[in-house]
Structure 1
Amino acid sequence: MKFKLLVGTALILSCLQVQARTMDAIQQSGTLKVGVPGDYAPLAYRNASGALEGYDIDMANALGKSLNLKVDFVITSWPTLSDDLAADKFDIAMGGVTETAKRKAEFGLTKPIVANGKIALASCSVAKELPDLEKIDQPKVKVVVNPGGTNQTFVDSHIKKAQIIRVKDNFDNLQALRDKTADIMVTDLIEGDYYQNKEPNVLCMATEKPFSGTESHKVYMVKKDNTKLLESINTWLQGETKSQLAKQWKIRE
């Protein structure tokens, strides 16, 4: 009987441990858990030494400091991002989250962080030949895409004739362009700007303006019922940190 009672108690405690962390619980823990896929430069990515860096990494650390909390980064992925947040693996999702109707319905989204939209990033050798969606969606063109995010949604919805090469993650997308095993990848204006400046004559933006209808914003995402955390983040975003770090990382606001 005692054994059954102990097992029952352990199960109850286990259930309590997986409940959503409220703002009060976060503050009591002293740690803010931030989920990032870690493959989206210049927002959140691993540098040559393997350490996370980027605009959203700096933003997360600044947010944590303002709340007097230590920041613990949790690596997630685009296919599992929403499920991981719903399962309380972290308190806030950052690192390239696009505002969508589905995410807005299911989660709490912050005020816009950075203006954005979908563009085509290409191998520079073919960029000039692919200035619009009509030229891109041709049988001879190879479009590379990774699963789980809004880039895949765009490709699946708009690419009907071109060859689609599906790879594991965003790093593989970029490498395919460098290796010229693919011609273009659909990505965000933010990322296109970054890589065109970082790797001139290798990676070029084939489309300088976002595809029509794709204009969007990057946001941060929390659980729907975590209203105190969302309010705290939005209040903090009204300060100067967002603009200061955007200039530092050369990100268009």
Structure 2
Amino acid sequence: MKSKLLVGTALILSCLQVQARTMDAIQQSGTLKVGVPGDYAPLAYRNASGALEGYDIDMANALGKSLNLKVDFVITSWPTLSDDLSADKFDVAMGGVTATAKREAEFGLTKPIVANGKIALASCSVAKELPDLEKIDQPKVKVVVNPGGTNQTFVDSHIKKAQIIRVKDNFDNLQALRDKTADIMVTDLIEGDYYQNKEPNVLCMATEKPFSGTESHKVYMVKKDNTKLLESINTWLQGETKSQLAKQWKIRE
């Protein structure tokens, strides 16, 4: 009997943890909680003063305004992003989320936000020597990667001969290229464009086009049962704000 009670209690707790905060509950609270890793320029990152900024930060604030909600940004990480969303630490994940089959199976994904794909961002001193995956995947080449995202998935699947340097986060990836302790990092076309323009002669895109088979798009992600929130976001995305902000942030749509 005791074991049955324990099982029943566990099931009740599980149900409580799984159920998303409903759209009605979000509206009643007056706040939309937006989870961002905050290390992905130009979508969501910290500026020199430590404040969050970027295309998705502006998008989140515009979305909140359209729904008459205050936006509360919650810092997450790529390794914990899915678990944090599942645990209701925030209502929607933004800031560089790539649409994948796994995420689509487990969560609700919005319509495409930005077209994307994987490229190699390199220290400019070696960029011309690494124009394709064959040249990159050589024993003398050092590839830096942080855990938990689609960049790590690509590196683990495709890099077999090159040296892999594993670091804590995306900031460390970029610093390794600046310091020339690594040669390249695999990242998104969006981020490659941004850093090549921001730090000319320091960071260069070694590959201008996405690696074959990596073409993708960025999305916003909610819990599977949060259909009303997903519908609200998709309806809002049909407006002009997305394109207007993309032009402002010089992001290819």
TM-score interval (norm. to shorter): over 0.9
Structure 1: how far apart are the matches of 2:243 and 2:167? Answer: 34
Count of matched residue positions in the alignment of Structure 1 and Structure 2: 253
Q: Kindly indicate whether the alpha-carbon contact (under 8 Å) linking 2:18 and 2:86 is maintained by their aligned counterparts in 1.
A: no
TM-score, scaled to structure 2: 0.94
**For residues 19 and 54 of structure 1, do their structure 2 counterparts lie closer, same or farther at Cα, with a shift above 3 Å needed?**
same
TM-score, scaled to structure 1: 0.94
Q: Kindly indicate whether the alpha-carbon contact (under 8 Å) linking 2:37 and 2:78 is maintained by their aligned counterparts in 1.
A: yes
Root mean square deviation of aligned Cα = 3.3
Shift of 1:116: 0.1
**For residues 4 and 130 of structure 1, do their structure 2 counterparts lie closer, same or farther at Cα, with a shift above 3 Å needed?**
closer
Structure 2: how far apart are the matches of 1:239 and 1:3? Answer: 54
Per-residue deviation, residues 143-169 of structure 1 (Å, max 9, x unmatched): 000000000000000000000000000
Q: Kindly indicate whether the alpha-carbon contact (under 8 Å) linking 2:110 and 2:219 is maintained by their aligned counterparts in 1.
A: yes
Unaligned runs of 5+ in 2: none
Structure 1: how far apart are the matches of 2:22 and 2:34? Answer: 14
Q: Kindly indicate whether the alpha-carbon contact (under 8 Å) linking 2:19 and 2:225 is maintained by their aligned counterparts in 1.
A: no
Shift of 1:20: 2.0
**For residues 231 and 8 of structure 1, do their structure 2 counterparts lie closer, same or farther at Cα, with a shift above 3 Å needed?**
closer
**For residues 157 and 62 of structure 1, do their structure 2 counterparts lie closer, same or farther at Cα, with a shift above 3 Å needed?**
same
**For residues 110 and 3 of structure 1, do their structure 2 counterparts lie closer, same or farther at Cα, with a shift above 3 Å needed?**
closer
Unaligned runs of 5+ in 1: none
Partner of 1:173: 173
Structure 1: how far apart are the matches of 2:160 and 2:2? Answer: 64
Structure 2: how far apart are the matches of 1:8 and 1:215? Answer: 45
Structure 2: how far apart are the matches of 1:3 and 1:252? Answer: 57
Structure 2: how far apart are the matches of 1:147 and 1:3? Answer: 39
**For residues 244 and 2 of structure 1, do their structure 2 counterparts lie closer, same or farther at Cα, with a shift above 3 Å needed?**
same
Structure 2: how far apart are the matches of 1:69 and 1:247? Answer: 25
- Greater CA deviation, 18-27 or 104-113? 18-27
Identity of aligned residues (%): 98
Runs of 4+ in 1 over 4 A off after TM superposition: 1-19
**For residues 68 and 248 of structure 1, do their structure 2 counterparts lie closer, same or farther at Cα, with a shift above 3 Å needed?**
same
